[in-house]
Structure 1
Amino acid sequence: AGANADIAAALNTLPGTTRVGEEGKLFVRGGAASETRTYLDGLPVQSPYGGAVSGVPARGRFAPRLFKGVMFSTGGYSAEYGQALSAVVGLSSVDLDPETQTGISLLSVGGSLSHSQRWDRTSASANVDYTNLAPYFGLTAPGQRWEQAPRNLGGAVRLAHRTGPDGLLKTYATYNSQQVAIRQPDPEAAYAQQGRLVALRNDNYYLNTTYRTALRRGWSLNAGLALAREHNDVRPEPQQIDELERTATARLVLTNDSASTWFNLKLGTEATVQRYDLRYRATADAPLYTPGFTEKRTAVFGESDLSLAPRLTGRVGLRGEYSALLNKASLAPRLALAWQLGATGQLSAIGGLYYQNPTNDLLRVQPKLGFERAAHYLLSYQYSTAGRTLRAEAYLKDYQHLVRYNRANVLDASAYANTGHGYARGLDIFWRDRYQTFKKVDYWVSYGLLDTRRQYRGDLAEAVPTFASTHSLSVVGKYWFEKQHLQLSTTLSYGSPRAY
C-alpha cells in the first residue's frame, strides 16, 4: 500500500525502518542504506536501486510481480548472508509461471507490459517497464526546477525449466536505463539565479542463474551465478563523474534436512570478483583523476538448526570471509534460541557478529582498510493466532572499526583508518489484523523507537546520524471489494525530526 510498485517503499512500512524521503532507500535500525544487503535467489545484488541525484529519491530495480516471497531481516540473520551490517532483503523469484498470460499495468507514474508462456516443464516470460515521475513531482514538489524528471526504461527476460522431479534451472536477465536532470539551489554567484544543473544517466545490466536439485542421502544442491554491470554518468556542473562497476558472484550450497532427528546441516561457499573504476574531472579542462580497484572475496559458511527440547529450538552458524583487496579475514559466529510458549507465543534471543567491506567511495581513495563490524543482540516476543500477529523486539547493535577520514581533505589517503565506532538500540513493535476486527479489512501498525549515535566518516565527534529518527510509525490498511475484485489501500507514515 502506498509503495507504487517499489519493494523498498513497501518494506519501509515495517518496524525497524526509517523513512528518508530524499533517499528512497532502506535505512534499518540506525544503519546507513549501504548496510542493507539484497539477495535474489540466494545471490547478492550489487545495486538494488536505480541511480539518483541529491534530494531525489531512488527506486528499487525489481518489479514485485517477479517474486513469490520477500524475506526481510532487520538483524540477527543467517550465516549464509554476509557483507551486511544492518539488514538483509531476500527476494525469491517465482519458479514456473502458472499459466500463459499477458498483462498490462498502469500506474500514476508509468506502466508495464508483460507476457508469460507456459509449457509442461518450462516457462518463459518477458516484460517492459516505463516510469516517468514528472506528474508525481509536479503535484508534490512543484517548486523543483526539472530539466528532466526521473525517467526509467527497463526490461527483463526470465526462463525456468524443470529438469526432473526435484531439479529446477532458472535464469533471469534485466536491463535498466535511467535519466534525470535538475537545477538545484546553490549559493555560488554563478548559479544563484538558475541553480546548479545536476544530470545523471544510469545503465544497469544484471544476470542471475540458479540451479537446484535433490541429491542422495537427504542432501540437496543449490548453485548459482550472478553477473552485474553498472555505469553512472553524473554531471554536477562543472564536474564530470564517470563510474563503472562490474561484479561476478558464484555460490554453492549443500543442505541436508535429514542428517539427524534433532538437527539439520547447511554448508556453503561463495566467491565474488569486483572491478570498480572512476573517471573524474573537477572542470572540463582539469586533470583527469582515475582511481580504481579490484576485489576478490571468498566466503564459507556452515549452519545447523537444532531441536534441543520439546519447546526449545536453536540455530548455530559460522561464516568466514577473506578479502584479497583488504588482505584480511573475518570469522563471524551466530547463535539463535527460541522457546515456544504454548500454541500461540514464542520468545527468542539472537546474537552474532557481522562484517562488511568499506563502501566504494572509501576504497577508491584508500583500498588498504579493514572490515567494518557490527555485533547484534536481540530479544523478541511473538504472539500469533489465526489472522492476528503481535511482535515486539528489543535490540542492540555495537559498531566497531568504522572508517574515518579527514573531512577537510577527503582525498588524503593517509587519514583513512578503521577507528570509528557507534551504537544503535531500540524497540520495534508490529501488530497485524487480517479480517478479524473489521470484515474485509487487513491492516497493520508498525512502531520503532531508536537511540543511536556514531562517529564515522568525517565526523568530528560522536553524533546522531542524519538518517536516523527517534520515532517511526506506519499504519497500513487494505480493503477488499470481493465482487469487483478490487483492493483499496492506504498508508500513513510518521517519522520524528532527524538531525541535520
Structure 2
Amino acid sequence: MNYFKQILVLFQISFIFPFIVSGKVVNELNEGIAYANVYLKDTFDGISTDLNGEFAFETYETGIHTLVVSYVGFETYEIEFNVNSDEFFDITLTELITQANEVVITAGSFGASDDEKVIVLDPIDIVTIASARGEISGALEALPGTQPQADKEGIYVRGGDATEAKQIVDGMLIQNPYFSDVPDIPQRGRFEPFDFQGTAFSQGGYSAQYGQALSAIVDLKTWSRFGDFNANTFGLTPLSMSYGRAYGNDSTVCGINLDYTNIKYFQDFNRESFLSDYIKERTNFSKPPSGFEIKTNYAKKFDKGVYKYLGKYTDYSLGTSTYDAEIGSNFNLKNNNTFILSTYKGELNDKRNIQLGISYSQNENDAQAIINFNDESITYDADSYDDLSQVRAVLTQKFLGKSKVSLGMHLFDQSSNFLNYVFKDTLIDNQDINIVNNDLSSEVKLDEFLSTTFLNLDFRLFRKFAFNAGLRYEDSHFLNKSTISPRFSAAYKLGRNSQVSYAYGKFYQTPEIGFDQWYRNNNINFTNLNFSDLDFEQSVHHILNYEWSKKGKMIRLEIFDKEYDNLITLESQNGCDDGIYSCVNNILNNGYGYSRGAELFWRYDQTSDGIGQDFWIAYSYLDSKRKFKQFSNEVIPSFASNHKLTFIYKNGFKLSDDSGFNTSLAITATSGFPYYDIWNEQQYESEPYLSFDIGGSYLPNIDNGFMVIFFNISNPFGYRNSFGYEYVDFDGSEIKEEKLPSSLRSIFIGCFMFFSIED
C-alpha cells in the first residue's frame, strides 16, 4: 500500500520550479579538476564535475545554502549563497600537503546521505528497488547481512531476530515501527522513506549513543529543508486517497496530510479477475485492511539551530480467516497508533552544540482470536496497550580540529498491558484439545523506567587514522539491574581510495516481554514470575572491514563475530514433556549462542540526475547457532540461512526532453531455511529461496502537475517459495503446516497524477 504514498510524497517535493547551479572547478594552475563532488550541504542536490571541471545541476532549494566542493587531495571548498536565481561559480581548490583524503570509520555501517559515511541508499533508492515494496526494511533486505522472511515483519540481521534490530528517528526510539502483528501475515512499516532525509544502517558495532539492540540500528534523520512554496496536493490510487496542504519559506515549513486506504478492491482483483489463477492469493481477509492516517510536520530555523516536529496518528482494522497454529483460525484486529516527536539541534558557540528531544508514542490493539472446533467456538480477547515517553539530551564539544566528545542522557518511561492465557488439555466430544485455564490466565501489566547516560569520544587528529571510543550506562527499573557497555571502533587509510576498519562493542537489551508475541503463546504463568530474577540479554561484536570506493564504484568486504549470552529460555514449571500447551512454563536467562560470517558488497553507480545505470551484487555467508526460547539445545535459528546472494539493477533514461522511463530488477536467492519438529527436536531445511521482482515507471510531463504510470511484478515465473513447516498439536494429532508467502505472485499496474495549486 505504501508504494503509492512514496509516489505522492515524491511529487509533493517537486512542485517548485528549479534553479540551475553551475560553474567550473580548477586547481591552482587553472587546470580543470574532473570528478570533483559538488553539492548543496544538507541536501541531496549535487553532481560530479566533467572532464573539463565543469558542472551544472538543478535544485528546488531556496534561501541561504552552502555549496560544497570536495576532491581527493584538496582542501574542501565551501561558500554560502542565497538560492533565489540561477548561479555560476568559478572555484579554485587548494592542494593538501598530504594526498590522502580523510579516513571514515565504516565497520558495520551502511550510510545513506550521512555526512560521515559512504552513500549507499537514499529515499529514491528505497522506492525504486523492485523488491523493496516501497518501504525502508524492504530496501535494507537488498544489502548483505539481512534475511528475507515470508510470514513475519522486521529486519533480521546476521543471525539476530527482529526484536534485536531497533529503528531510531532523530535519536528517539520508535516503539512500534510496524503495523500490529497479525498471524502469518508480515506487516508493513508505519513510516515512508520520504519522511526522512537519510538512513544510516548499522549492522553492529554502533556507538555508545544507542543501546537496547543486540544486533542492529536503523538511524533515520528527518528533513531539514526550507524553501518558498504554498500549495495543495491531492492523490488518488486504486488503494488510497490523499490530501495535503504544505507551506514553507526560508525559515519555516509546515504541512498536513490525510490518507484513507482500503484494499478491498485490490483483493477482489487478485481473487476474482482473469489473473486470479496466475496470482494465487493465499491470504483470506474476512475484512480487508482499511483505515486512515493523519500526518503533521513543522520545522523552524533559527540563527543557530533548527526545531522540528513530526506527528502521526493511524487508525485501521482488518480480519483474517487463515488457520494459525498458535491462537486460532480467525483473527480480528482494530488498531490505533500515535507517534509524536519534537527535537532541537543547534550551536551554543563555534565549538559546542546541543541536541534535545522529547517523544511520546502509544499503540492500542482491540483483537480477538477465534478457534472453531466441530460445533464449538472459543473466543479469546487478545487486547494490548503500550506507550513510551522519552527525553534525550546530548552536548557535543569539538577539539583538536575535527575531534569531538559527546556527553548525553536518554530516559525511557514505558508501560505495556496485555491479556495472557494459559492453556491446558481438555476433552471435548472425547477429543483432546487445548483450552484456556482461567485459574492461571490474567491481565499482565509491565512498567519500565530505563535511564541511560553515555560518553563518546570521536578522535580525528590524523587524516589516515581515526578512532571512536565510548561508554554507555543503563539502569533498568523493570529488571532492577544496571549495565556498563564499552564501545570502540577505528579506521586506517591504506590509500586514496581504500581503508580498513575495526569495531568492537558489548550490547545489552531488556527482554521484549511486552512486545514479542512469542511470550504470549507459550503458556507462561506471569502471575508467579519475578521479573527481578531476569537479566539483560547481551551480545559482543567484533567486526573487521575493508572498503574501496572510487567514482561511483565500491567494493566492501566484512567479516564479523557475534557472541550471545543470557538469552531468554523457556523452562517447564511442572516437568511435563507432552508438548508446549500441556505445560505451565517459566522463563530464565539460560540461553547463549553465536553468529559469525563474511559479506561482500560490490556496487557500480553511473547515474546522473536519475539517468544512467546503477547495479550491485551482495553476498552473505552466515554460521549461526543459539540455545534460546523453547529449544533445549543449540539450534540454527529459523530466520538464518547460510548463504544469500542479491543482484539489484536499475536504469533510468529520457525518452524525450519532457519524459523519462525507469526500470528495476531485483533477484535474491538464499539457501534453505531451517525448521523444526517440536516433538522430537529434529532439524530440517526448506528448499532454497528465490525472489525475482521487476518494476518500471513512465513519467510524462504535465503542466502544473505530474503523472506516472508504473508497474511491479513479483515472482513472475511462479517459483514456489517455502519457509518450511510449523508443527502443531490439534485435535489430538501431531500435524504440520507449511509456511508460505501470502501469494504465489503479485502484480500491480497503476497511474498516479499530482496537481499543485499555488495560492
The residue number in structure 1 matching 2:60 is none
For residue 250 of structure 1, what is the aligned residue in structure 2?
391
Residue 240 (structure 1) aligned to one of 374, 381, 384: 381
Q: Within 5 A, what are the aligned runs for 1:265-344? A: 265-280=405-420, 286=438, 289-307=442-460, 309-344=462-497
1:337-392 deviation digits (Å, cap 9, x = unpaired): 10111110010111110110000245993422110000000001111001111111
* CA contact 2:323–2:330 (8 Å) conserved in 1: no
Within the candidate set 165, 177, 189, 2:315 is matched to 177
> Does residue 393 of the first structure (1) align with residue 546 of the second (2)?
no
Deviation at 1:97, TM superposition (A): 4.5
> SS of the residue aligned with 1:10?
helix
Unaligned runs of 5+ in 2: 1-128, 371-378, 423-434, 573-578, 676-759
Q: CA deviation at 1:152?
A: 4.4
Tell me the equivalent position of 1:224: 357
Structure 1 alignment gaps of length 5 or more: none
Question: Could you say which residue in structure 2 is the equivalent of 1:203?
Answer: 336
| One-letter amino acid of the structure 2 residue matched with residue 129 of structure 1 | D
1:13 aligns with 2:142: yes
Deviation at 1:15, TM superposition (A): 1.1
In structure 2, how many angstroms separate the alpha carbons of the residues matched to 1:153 and 1:377?
44
One-letter code aligned to 1:244: Y
Matched letter for residue 393 of structure 1: E
Cα displacement string for residues 66-92 of structure 1 (whole angstroms, at most 9, x for unaligned residues)? 111011111111110110000000110
Any idea what the Cα deviations from partners look like across 1:453-479, whole Å, max 9, x if unmatched? 101111121101111111222222222
- Report the secondary structure of 1:14's partner residue: coil
- Give me the whole-angstrom Cα distance separating, in 2, the residues matched to 1:151 and 1:47: 19
Three-state SS of the structure 2 residue aligned to 1:416 is strand
Query: 1:246 and 1:411 mapped to 2: Cα distance?
Result: 33
Q: Deviations over 1:309-342 (max 9, x none)?
A: 4411111111110001101111110111101111
Structure 1 stretch displaced more, 20-29 or 486-495: 486-495
The change in CA–CA distance for 1:347 and 1:292 in structure 2 (over 3 A counts) is: same
For residue 34 of structure 1, give the secondary structure of its aligned residue in structure 2.
helix
Tell me whether 1:474 sits opposite 2:613 in the alignment: no
| Partner residue in 2 for 1:4 | 133
Counterpart contact for 1:112–1:130, Cα < 8 Å: yes
Judging changes above 3 Å, is the alpha-carbon distance between structure 1 residues 385 and 186 closer, same or farther for their aligned structure 2 residues?
A: closer
Q: Deviations over 1:16-56 (max 9, x none)?
A: 10011211321111101000011011111111111131210
Which residue number in structure 1 is paired with residue 673 of structure 2? 498
Partner of 2:602: 431
Cα deviations across residues 135-186 of structure 1 (Å, max 9, x unaligned)? Answer: 3664644233220233343221001111x22211111110122322111236
Which stretch of structure 1 is more off in the superposition, 112-121 or 443-452? Answer: 112-121
Q: Deviations over 1:98-142 (max 9, x none)?
A: 444444556675464433210331110122334445536646442
> What is the distance in 1 between the residues matched to 2:201 and 2:580?
38
TM-score by length of 1: 0.92
Going from structure 1 to structure 2, the CA distance change for 1:127 and 1:76 (only over 3 Å counts) comes to same
Q: Is the Cα–Cα contact under 8 Å of residues 9 and 24 in structure 1 kept in the other structure?
A: no
Alignment partner of 1:122 out of 229, 252, 260: 252
2:415 and 2:447 in contact (8 A); partners too: yes
1:338-377 maps to which residues of 2 (within 5 A)? 338-361=491-514, 362=519, 365=526, 366=529, 367-368=531-532, 369-377=534-542
Hey, what's the Cα distance between the residues in 1 that align with 2:619 and 2:632? 31
Aligned 1:20-99 pairs, distance under 5 A: 20-98=149-227, 99=229
Give the superposition deviation at 1:212. Answer: 1.3
User: More deviation in 116-125 or 475-484?
Assistant: 475-484
Matched residues in 1 for 2:539 and 2:261: separation? 37
1:490–1:153 Cα change, 3 Å? farther
CA RMSD of aligned residues (A): 2.7
1:444 aligns with 2:631: no
User: What secondary structure is seen at the aligned counterpart in 1 of 2:403?
Assistant: coil
State the secondary structure of the residue aligned to 2:194.
helix
Answer with 1 or 2: which has the greater Rg: 2
> What corresponds to 2:431 in structure 1?
none
Q: In the alignment, residue 503 of structure 2 is paired with which amino acid? A: I
Deviation at 1:239, TM superposition (A): 1.5
Residues 1:214 and 2:355 aligned together? no
Q: In the comparison of the two structures, how many residue pairs are matched?
A: 493
Contact 1:406 1:412 in 2 (8 A): no
C-alpha spacing 1:393/1:100, structure 2 compared with 1 (3 Å): farther
CA contact (8 A) 1:51 1:201 kept: no
In structure 2, relative to structure 1, the CA distance for the partners of 1:480 and 1:323 (3 Å cut) is: same
Secondary structure, in 3 states, of the residue corresponding to 1:352?
strand
What letter is aligned with 1:341? L
* Cα distance between partner residues in 1 of 2:670 and 2:261: 27
CA contact (8 A) 1:240 1:281 kept: no
Between stretches 417-426 and 4-13, larger displacement belongs to 4-13
**SS of residue in 2 equivalent to 1:239:** strand
Alpha-carbon displacement from aligned partner over 1:421-469 (angstroms, at most 9, x marks no partner): 0101111211111127997111122221111010111112110111111
Q: 1:376 to 1:292 in 2, by over 3 A?
A: same
Deviation of the 1:406 alpha carbon? 2.3
For the residues of structure 1 that align with 2:288 and 2:226, how far apart are their CA atoms?
A: 35
Query: Is 1:420 aligned to residue 591 of structure 2?
Result: yes
Structure 1 residues 153 and 468: alpha-carbon distance in aligned structure 2, compared to 1, 3 A threshold: farther
Separation in structure 1 between the aligned mates of residue 226 and residue 458 of structure 2, nearest angstrom: 32
Residue 635 of structure 2: SS of its match in structure 1? coil
**Corresponding residue of 1:158:** 297
* 2:183–2:324 Cα contact (<8 Å) kept: no
Distance 1:295 1:450, change over 3 A: same
3-state secondary structure, aligned to 1:8: helix
Structure 2 residue matching 1:215: 3-state secondary structure: strand
CA contact (8 A) 1:240 1:280 kept: no
Q: In 2, Cα distance between the equivalents of 1:206 and 1:239?
A: 28
2:340 corresponds to which letter in structure 1? L
Alpha carbons of structure 1 residues 384 and 186: separation in structure 2 relative to 1, 3 Å: closer
Residues of 2 paired with 1:328 and 1:473: CA distance? 41
| Partners of 2:487 and 2:506 within 8 A in 1 | yes
